[in-house]
Structure 1
Amino acid sequence: MSRVDLEAVRKRFGALDVIHGVDLAIEDGSFCVFVGPSGCGKSTLLRMIAGLESVSGGTIRIGSRPVNDVEPAARGIGMVFQSYALYPHMTVRGNMGFGLRATGTSRAETERRLQRAAGILQLDSLLDRKPAQLSGGQRQRVAIGRAIMREPEVFLFDEPLSNLDAELRVQMRVEIAGLHRRLGNTMIYVTHDQTEAMTLADRIVVLRGGRVEQTGAPLELYDDPATAFVAGFIGSPRMNFLRGTAEPGGGVAFAGTRATVPWRSGPPAPGTPVQVGIRPEHLRDDGPVRLAVTVEVAEQLGGVSYLYGTTPGAERLVVERRGLAAARAGETVTVGLEPRDLRVFDGEGRRLR
């Protein structure tokens, strides 16, 4: 097992900079998830760690060793791609052992590693099947098993679940989390799905435009976002954002109501335009701050319901309610909130505390 350090890492394609001086320290044995929208640089960063993309500037270290000029096969990494990339004419046994055979590993050692990986991933009964005889989840387990057989220091996952259906994604998330607990290796995982990030990671790196927007534990990013971008990206449904204005005495006026925010570092100057963020689950039937919402759609999902509506200022708002929502389209309901649940941001999206 090894830690991974990125020091002022940059990537340039011609005249275009796509990774802008990223500094990261990924601890030994941690499960780190790179998350962000398409084009933010998360896969490029992963491929640079793997050695599949060159580094235009800065240093990547695996353990204490700089690996900028080290070939991918010598970096001590095992990579699982979005595509299973299995040889259709080979059995599971053949696919998992191919890489070791190609590097001259003995038959006995290859078989030892095969049996270990198959046992971990519950592939023992599938070793003589070919990929066409496997489900999508089983094929992905074979791809992971191929990486395990390398006995790497670091596992790299590049959106490995995006080709699976919703039920299989949930199942594979559980299996990958269990794999990390059993093996204890450092794992770096790329996804655009913040649900995967929240459920798998012990540390999330949110990327935006080739820069690190914020890093931290999943619930830390959810509850204490540093920017409006992070607040809106982490969480499903996303955080509601409403236009507001700072008032004297630490108050904020928004959506036809007003709240006194418990500032840590002092309120913004009165008259300052702000963005007021509130999570859907923090809009309740009670609460000292009251807000009118005209319902457009009531989405009933059984144990939880979502009301999609608008404020008096025609700003969109999502309200979460436990159980079946009684409100119907066209109805105006009043919801409440606690001032401590508000997250306030300036015009540039930076958090005001």
Structure 2
Amino acid sequence: MSNLTLKNLKKSYGAVEVIKGVDLAITPGEFVVFVGPSGCGKSTLLRMIAGLEVVTSGTIEIADRDVTQLEPYDRGIAMVFQSYALYPHMTVAENMGFALRLAGHAKPERRKAVEEAARILQIGHLLDRKPAQLSGGQRQRVAIGRSIVRQPDVFLFDEPLSNLDAELRVQTRIEIARLHQTLDTTMIYVTHDQTEAMTLADRIVVLRGGIIEQVGAPTDLYDDPDNAFVAGFIGSPAMNFLPCVAASANEVTVAGLTIALPQLQTQLRQGESMKMGIRPEHLNGTNGPSVAMKIDVVEQLGATAFVHGMLGGDLPLLVEARAMRPKAGDMINVPFDPQHVFLFDANGDRIR
């Protein structure tokens, strides 16, 4: 296991700065996920760690060794790409052992390493097949196995599940989580899918516009976001955001409903405009003042339903319903539990 440290890391393409001074410390054996919208810099940051992008300024340390200027093969990393990049004329075993062959390892040593990786990934029965004879999920496991045989200090995953269908994504995600538990190796994983981030990560790094918005355990980011961007990005379905106005030092009014927020440490200024956030799953309890909402659309998912409606005629609201079978056109009472209300200022920063 190895630690990884990024110090004031920057990357520019001409006058365009895409990574704007990233500082991050990853502990040995940690599974860290970079997440954010397209264009936020997460893949660029991963490629800088891998040595596939030249660093404009700052340093990268792996196992307390400065690797900023080293070639990829000297960094002690192994990378799994979105595309499988398997050699079609080679068998699974030959694909997995190719890096060791290039490094001059003897055939018995290569075979032993390949068989051990295949055992971990449960693909031992596929070693004599060619990539064309494999499913998408099997090809991705071969690509991961190719990295395992190298015994790297750090594994890097660049959206490895993007080419898989929904069922295979879930299955392979579970396999990657088990792999981390088995190998206990430092892993960095890039995805735009916050569900993957929430289910895999020890810590999530939320990126936007080349900077880190927040770093923390999945539940910490979900329960205690620093700003509206993180609050809206983490959680599925996304958080509801509603304009509101301060009615007093610890009360806000939204859609004609006044909600007391005794947990606030900040004294609000009466008449101040801000934004309220509340998650769909927190609108189906019994605590707090309620407001009537007419249902426009219902998405039935079996155990739950996503109920869409409007407050005050022009404020869209999404409610996750679990104990009822609502229908379009019904009227329901929506309670706003003060314990689950978030407030954000005009800049999107959290008001605590």
For normalisation by structure 2, the TM-score amounts to 0.98
Matched with 1:346 is 345
TM-superposed deviation, 1:94: 1.0
Counterparts of 1:1-353 in structure 2 under 5 Å?
A: 1-323=1-323, 325-353=324-352
Secondary structure of 2:8 counterpart: strand
TM-superposed deviation, 1:335: 1.3
TM-superposed deviation, 1:287: 2.2
Output the amino acid matched with 2:326. Answer: A
Contact 1:285/1:334, CA 8 A, preserved across alignment: no
The Cα offsets for residues 302-321 of structure 1, whole Å up to 9 and x where unpaired, read as 01111011111411111001
TM-superposed deviation, 1:264: 4.2
Q: Within 2, Cα distance between the matches of 1:263 and 1:247? A: 16
Query: What is the RMSD computed on CA atoms of the aligned residues?
Result: 1.0
Output the amino acid matched with 1:339. Answer: P
Secondary structure of 2:346 counterpart: coil
Contact 2:248/2:268, CA 8 A, preserved across alignment: no
> Percent identity at matched positions?
59
Q: Gapped runs of 5+ residues in structure 1?
A: none
TM-superposed deviation, 1:54: 0.7
Contact 1:256/1:313, CA 8 A, preserved across alignment: no
- More off after superposition, 94-103 vs 233-242: 94-103
Q: Within 2, Cα distance between the matches of 1:262 and 1:134? A: 59
TM-superposed deviation, 1:104: 1.2
Contact 1:292/1:312, CA 8 A, preserved across alignment: no
Secondary structure of 1:199 counterpart: helix
Contact 1:255/1:313, CA 8 A, preserved across alignment: no
Q: Within 1, Cα distance between the matches of 2:84 and 2:294? A: 47
For normalisation by structure 1, the TM-score amounts to 0.98
Secondary structure of 1:94 counterpart: helix
The Cα offsets for residues 200-259 of structure 1, whole Å up to 9 and x where unpaired, read as 001000000000000000000001000000000000100000000112141011122111
Output the amino acid matched with 1:275. Answer: K
Q: Within 2, Cα distance between the matches of 1:352 and 1:249? A: 12
Secondary structure of 1:195 counterpart: helix
TM-superposed deviation, 1:103: 1.8
Secondary structure of 1:182 counterpart: helix
The Cα offsets for residues 79-104 of structure 1, whole Å up to 9 and x where unpaired, read as 00000001111110111111111121
The Cα offsets for residues 79-130 of structure 1, whole Å up to 9 and x where unpaired, read as 0000000111111011111111112111122111111101100111000011
TM-superposed deviation, 1:285: 5.0
Q: Gapped runs of 5+ residues in structure 2?
A: none
TM-superposed deviation, 1:41: 0.2
Q: Within 1, Cα distance between the matches of 2:225 and 2:285? A: 25
The Cα offsets for residues 264-284 of structure 1, whole Å up to 9 and x where unpaired, read as 422221111110000001001
| Number of corresponding residues | 352
Contact 2:249/2:268, CA 8 A, preserved across alignment: no
**CA 313–57 in structure 1, closer or farther in 2 if over 3 Å, else same:** farther
Secondary structure of 1:73 counterpart: helix
Output the amino acid matched with 2:42. Answer: K
The Cα offsets for residues 132-177 of structure 1, whole Å up to 9 and x where unpaired, read as 1111110000000000011001000000001000000000111000
Secondary structure of 2:245 counterpart: strand
Q: Within 1, Cα distance between the matches of 2:4 and 2:109? A: 28
Q: Within 2, Cα distance between the matches of 1:308 and 1:282? A: 14
Q: Within 2, Cα distance between the matches of 1:29 and 1:103? A: 26
Contact 2:285/2:337, CA 8 A, preserved across alignment: no
